Amino acid sequence: MIEPSPSLARTAGLSGWISDLRTALAFLTRLPLAQSGEPLPDDLARAMRCFPLAGAVVGLAGGLVFLVASFALTPLVAGLLAVGAMAFLTGGLHEDGLADTADGIGGGRDREDALRIMRDSRIGSYGTLALILSVSMRAGAIAGLADAAFGGIIAAAAVSRGLLPAAIALSTPARPDGLGAAAGRPRETDVLTALAIAAVLATLSVGFGATMAVFVLAAGGAATIAWIAKRRIGGYTGDILGAAQQAAEIAALFAVLAVL
């Protein structure tokens, strides 16, 4: 049973969607959007339906960088620049989560030790290796997509973020404080809306057949991270969600590469 945040009343109509999209973009990117401080849990929980739209914005930036760079550079270098552009636009939000998760899960002796390591801002050997693998796999997959790279980047970025509300709704925070708990819990309707929007964006980007493969593999990647986190620390944190996004994005790019 999904238990949403206590107050999820939202402005109806287009203005509500615009407000939610601004909140999602402010949370997931470094775009200079006017905000009166950090979004409240209820604000962010409401805005999770727009996570795939924010992801598409990030993917669009990466796709455009790849297209421009491809005119003068090799596909692999263009892919690396695309990954770098997306990381810059998000402030390395998900990459930071991946590194902290790898350090905590890989190096922690028990639950408490893993959570302690994940709070540490310093990066260790597990985190470094995880980042190297993530950047390499994404850039390599993008390079291999060739003409399908632009759509593949957008689809992977949208779907990997569209899955995050479901990951939050289907699990529990590993600790009462921190970014994961502060994000709040979305309504079931918002979870389904996020998934539907992600599916539409992916279909427009890579076609229906590829979208099915993208969802299956991306969901598998995110679920694997969630399963490991549940066993090791009892649930999710903000870092775990970042790692889940990275795993889902890598899997989504591989799916497009295999199908197209």
Q: How far apart are CA 31 and CA 28, in angstroms?
A: 9
Identify which of 15-19, 180-184, 199-203 has the greatest average pLDDT: 199-203
Residue 25 placed within a domain: no
Q: What is the pLDDT, as a whole number, of residue 176? A: 76
Run of H or E including 179: helix 179-182
pLDDT in tens, 193-218: 999 999 999 999 999 999 999 999 99
Q: How far apart are CA 137 and CA 259, in angstroms?
A: 17
Specify which residues 8 forms β-bridges with: none
Return the SS3 of 236.
strand
Exposed, middle or buried: residue 122 (CB in 10 Å: 0-12, 13-18, 19+)? exposed
Specify which residues 173 forms β-bridges with: 236
Residue 79 placed within a domain: yes
Residue 16 placed within a domain: no
Residue 110 placed within a domain: yes
Q: How far apart are CA 51 and CA 59, in angstroms?
A: 12
Residue 8 placed within a domain: no
More confident residue, 29 or 5: 29
Specify which residues 236 forms β-bridges with: 173
Residue 17 placed within a domain: no
Segments forming the whole domain that contains residue 127: 48-259
Domain tally, the chain: 1
Q: Which tokens sit at 9?
A: 């009343």
Q: How far apart are CA 18 and CA 175, in angstroms?
A: 31
Residue 115 placed within a domain: yes
Residue 75 placed within a domain: yes
